[in-house]
Structure 1
Amino acid sequence: MRLLRIFPDDSKFRFVRWRVLSFPFSAAISVATIVLFLTVGLNYGIDFTGGTLMELQSKSGKADLASVRETAQSFETGEVEVQEFGQGGQVSLRFRIQPGGEPAQSALVTRARAAFEKDYEIRRVETVGPRVSGELVQSGTLGVVLSIVSVLGYLWFRFELQLAIGAVIGTLHDIVLTVGFFLITRQEFNMTSIAAILTIVGYSLNETVVVFDRTRELLRKYKNLPTDELLDLSINSTMSRTVMTATTTALSLLALVLFGGQAIEGFANVMLFGVIICTYSAIFVSSPMLIYLGVKTSTRAAAEEKAALAAKAANVSRRPA
């Protein structure tokens, strides 16, 4: 019985030559993400900003956003964000941190419950103070930074320095584009988002290590092969595994997006995007980057070094006494 092959084993696609398009594309998206981050900013959730989040479900079908907004603004608690989400009839309210500390926040929740419980079911209430939100920001940022440093240390131990740097560049690329996803979609950025980013870091590392491990084997086997051809060979030889992994993971995440419900939908959306980006970067960013990081077969490196020494000796001999 012949096994199913999503990607042919004997493929000879020249992936590396597409770096003339993938590098400018990734650079443009990364720069745009940084600009949006500095100008527009992320849609931080209560975890990071502090305040109170309330989620309501209308008891009579579609929610009246205008009425909900008018009622919330009548509390005179400062700026209030009112948004509809889900299939219909679901509304989220975000109240800023109130002067007076925890008693003031509790009084606000009580007042809001009394105002909305007649027409809406109170599905969720979360209150986070400024001190807790600040600690969460620091912890989340520290977690991402430490994960990247750990990746660099692991790859430096596992591979040569050039391969480690290439893998870290690919991982940073995936993180930046994932942040761009949050900026463009305006999806709430909270502690679950940090968990999604850390998971994407692990997936990106996994995809890159598989390709680089084959690259290291081929560097020892084909000592005279040009670097771009060797990288194409390593990508093609692992492409069947890469496509199978990405496809099965994406299908699982798609099921979570469609049927997982509101609690996990945001995480699944980010992860689905991350799987696509990680697969793209492992093929079109991390591997071609090795060309510019000086990765060569041992024979070619020795030949280039010998040619450079010969040229230097020839220049010295031509100098007038």
Structure 2
Amino acid sequence: MRLRLVPQETNWDFMRYRNLTFGGSVVAMIAAIAVWLIVGLNFGIDFLGGTTIRTESTMAVDVGAYRAALEPLALGDVTITEVFDPTFAPDQNVAQVRIQSQDGAEAVTPETITAVEMALQTVDPSLTFPSVESVGPKVSGELITSALLALGAAMVAMLFYIWLRFEWQFAVGAVAALVHDIVLTIGIFSLLQIRFDLATIAALLTVLGYSINDTVVIFDRLRENLIKFKKTPLVDIMNKSVNETLSRTLMTSGTTLLALIALLVLGGDVIRGFVFAIFWGVIVGTYSSVYVAKNVVLMLGVDRDPKKPSDAGTQFADIDA
């Protein structure tokens, strides 16, 4: 007996509350943008420039004492945060000291780093420094530009691909779903103040790929059904297409989430932001494939002139996948 997450045949009305779900998505995007503009992102050292020193000790982290020890060094903006992780041992106390780039310098000098370490060891002589990361302000600015270009290029390439394979309405719907996924992911990072760095950009690109893959699978079935059922209302064909691909969607999303949950729990704090971005992206990407991409296509409509059977459903029906 094979395990089934859903019955072999389903007839759930996914589009019944399409106005409510699409409106909720729009409101969520506006809220995410508002949080982003008001709260801002917790940029990592990759984008801010400066130096991050990771400390580790058997004694509890005293952020106030650390800050007091560093004040005489006049380092400018210094951020000290304690790192919590379920994989840490009971006597493993970790903190991160982030120092802004100094005026006129590409990075914090080795002498400054040594002075910081010595100052911190006056508070806790058992402190060790497992890692030190430095990025200059010029490099960080270039990284921001490259990250934005990477996201933009990925979305333009996907827009072109969907337009070639389907109709332009499908391309607009797919890109709208991608924008939805990216905005909500950035919004949750801003709300929870999770560190936003280059690893997060890599996660966002992964989310784009996952989301467009799920959308294309449903679009493929929708295209087939548009050709097969020329007189059936478009909303009914959309429901049928989502139902027919539901088992595949749940299996793919479910197995991916199982692996991501394991990484979230056991992977450690270093990769937690990267894993969380993909975890959240899989959830919103699966949602947007149905309730954003399909809603946009439904609003724009599809050319289904029965006098042009070769164009029913797609003007590029013969292009291979």
TM-score of the aligned structures, taking structure 2 as reference length: 0.89
Alignment correspondent of 2:234:
227
Structure 1 pair 180–301 and aligned structure 2 pair: CA distance change class (3 A): farther
Alignment correspondent of 1:35:
34
2:85 matched to 1:81? no
Distance in 1, Cα, partners of 2:269 & 2:97: 16
* Contact 1:44–1:190 (8 Å) recurs in 2: yes
Distance in 1, Cα, partners of 2:160 & 2:26: 25
Match of 1:96 among 87, 94, 100: 100
TM-score of the aligned structures, taking structure 1 as reference length: 0.89
Q: Structure 1 residue 12: deviation in Å?
A: 0.5
Match of 2:220 among 192, 195, 213: 213
Partner deviation per Cα, 1:163-204 (whole Å, 9 max, x = no partner): 111111111111111111111110111100110000000001
Residue identity (%) = 39
* Contact 1:223–1:297 (8 Å) recurs in 2: yes
Q: Structure 1 residue 243: deviation in Å?
A: 0.4
2:49 matched to 1:45? no
Structure 1 pair 296–227 and aligned structure 2 pair: CA distance change class (3 A): farther
* Contact 1:219–1:296 (8 Å) recurs in 2: no
Alignment correspondent of 1:305:
none
* Contact 1:215–1:230 (8 Å) recurs in 2: yes
Letter in 1 for 2:49: G
Distance in 2, Cα, partners of 1:80 & 1:220: 62
Structure with more helix by fraction: 1
Structure 1 pair 76–211 and aligned structure 2 pair: CA distance change class (3 A): same
Alignment correspondent of 2:276:
269
Alignment correspondent of 2:61:
63
Aligned pairs, how many?
300
Q: SS in structure 2 opposite 1:72?
A: helix
Structure 1 gap ranges (5+): 303-321
Q: Structure 1 residue 102: deviation in Å?
A: 4.6
Alignment correspondent of 1:185:
192
Find runs of 4+ consecutive structure 1 residues off by over 4 angstroms. none
Alignment correspondent of 1:14:
13
Letter in 1 for 2:13: R
Q: Structure 1 residue 272: deviation in Å?
A: 0.7
Structure 1 pair 29–103 and aligned structure 2 pair: CA distance change class (3 A): closer
Across the aligned residues of Structure 1 and Structure 2, the Cα RMSD in angstroms comes to 1.7
* Contact 2:108–2:134 (8 Å) recurs in 1: no
2:173 matched to 1:166? yes
Distance in 1, Cα, partners of 2:290 & 2:166: 18
Structure 2 gap ranges (5+): 86-91, 310-321
Q: SS in structure 2 opposite 1:101?
A: coil
Q: SS in structure 2 opposite 1:251?
A: helix
